[in-house]
Every structure is written in C-alpha cells, then in structure tokens.
Amino acid sequence: MNRLRAIAGPLLATATLVAATLGVATPAAASTTATLDVATPAAATLDVATPAAAAPAGLPGMDVSSYQGNVNWSAAWNNGARFAYVKATEGTYYTNPSFAQQYNGSYTVGMIRGSYHFARPDTTTGAAQANYFVDHGGGWSKDGRTLPGALDIEYNPYGATCYGLSQSAMRTWIASFVNQYQARTGRWATIYTTTDWWTTCTGNYSGFAATNPLWLARYAGTVGALPAGWSTYSFWQWASSGTFPGDQNVWNGTLDRLRVLACNGPC
C-alpha cells in the first residue's frame, strides 16, 4: 500500500516524540515526507513480477492513506472506482489525519467502502490493536455500503520482516486480532497480505481461510499462487498507481456480490 509513503505520518509523530524527549527541534514535516516519498520499493518486497499492462478483470477500486490527503472522490467515481479501503489506524498510536474526508467522501459519491489497520505485532497485542481500530474508524454497519475492516499484515517497514515474532507467535497474534474484531463487530476482518510474507512469517498457515476474506497484494500480470487455504481471492491490489489515487485494486466479482460481502448476506 505504498508502504514507505503511508508511514510518513507515523514516523513524523515518532520523530516529534523523540525530539521532545531529547530537547531538540522537531523535524520539519516536509522534510520527513520528502525523505519517504520514494519510488515503489524493490520487487522482492512487493511480490512484483511483470507489471500488469492493463487492469485485470473484476470490479475496479482503490485504497488510500494519509499520503493521498484530500481525495477527489467524484473524479475517482467518474473514472470507474466502485469501492475503496481507507487507512484508519496503525498500532495503537496513529490515526490517519485524512480519514474523515476519505472515508466519508468515498461513501458520499456512492462507493462501497471500508477501513484498514496497519498491523504492528511488535508493539501491542492483536486484541489491543483490534480495539484501537474499531474505536477509531474500523467499525462496521449493515448498510450495504460498509465493508468489513481489513487487517494489513505484511512486510515491516520499520525493521525485521516478521516483526521479531516466530511463525507460531505470528499466527497467535493474527488470531488475537481477528477474533477480537469479530467479537466487537460481528464480522471477520479481511486479511491483506502477500503470499511471500504469509509463507515466511506464518509458515503459510491455512487456518484463517475459512472465515477471513483474502486481499492479496501482487503487482504483476497474474495474481499468482495464493496463501494456503484460500482457493480464491476477494480483492487483488495489482498496482501502486494508475487511474485512481492510491493503490489500484479489483474485487473478484460483481457489484452485487460486493454488496453481499458488505451486508454479510442479504441487506
């Protein structure tokens, strides 16, 4: 999800805290953002093969974070976007300052939208982060326009790929998050990941496939191998830029089927 760009806000908040602690000046926001405003990370990081020459089959959509700021949602709608995922939170320390404009704006133009949480398994428990997410924009309502919240669990932009957790501990952390999210909202969270990260950091665990929709990130002409247990994907993030602001996605189905996911059945 344009990971280095998306973490500009959290890093600036961290820098401010450190500066206050050490008694030094706070780094300028423009400077911090400029440092992180880099090209798409290396292919190995994003499961990139040959980039897709055109949008794959499916219902077009997008995901955005604070990096996109105020989005022109009418333009995105007119260009064909019918759903959006919006970053709400990270860890238990960060909320997207553009969340209200992005989350409400996408809804206002007619999109089906949801929010996502960037996981930090190295900081607090899965349950604590699920609660933080729900309390800061990650809830769900059966209005036919709100997707279940998504857990963005992937490469660590701050350090060790698997956040210092063993495969067993990572599986436990994810279970803690999705179980608490389900307890709070009645929905199973969508899981955003890559097949490479999932294999490396969970041991290619198949136990969530029966309940949690898969949102796969792979910048390539084909979706490729899926993580164990999932026979198909629900969402595919196939490019980091394109027609819409933010990352480019497709829903693996029709608009009517997306409404079924939003409603958790008939509305």
Residue of 206, 89, 222 whose CA lies nearest to 149: 89
CB 86 within 8 A of CB 246: no
Distance, in Å, from the CA atom of 256 to the CA atom of 171, rounded to the nearest integer, reads 33
Which one of the listed residues 47, 90, 152, 247 is annotated catalytic? 152
Which one of the listed residues 47, 90, 154, 196 is annotated catalytic? 154
Distance, in Å, from the CA atom of 149 to the CA atom of 129, rounded to the nearest integer, reads 12
* Longest CA–CA separation in the chain, Å: 57
The reply to whether 152 belongs to the active site is: yes
CB 31 within 8 A of CB 112: no
The reply to whether 63 belongs to the active site is: yes
Distance, in Å, from the CA atom of 74 to the CA atom of 94, rounded to the nearest integer, reads 28
Q: Which residue has the tokens 């932009």?
A: 157
Residue of 179, 249, 255, 254 whose CA lies nearest to 211: 179
Residue 253 three-state SS: coil
Which one of the listed residues 63, 90, 196, 247 is annotated catalytic? 63
Just list the catalytic residues. Answer: 63, 152, 154
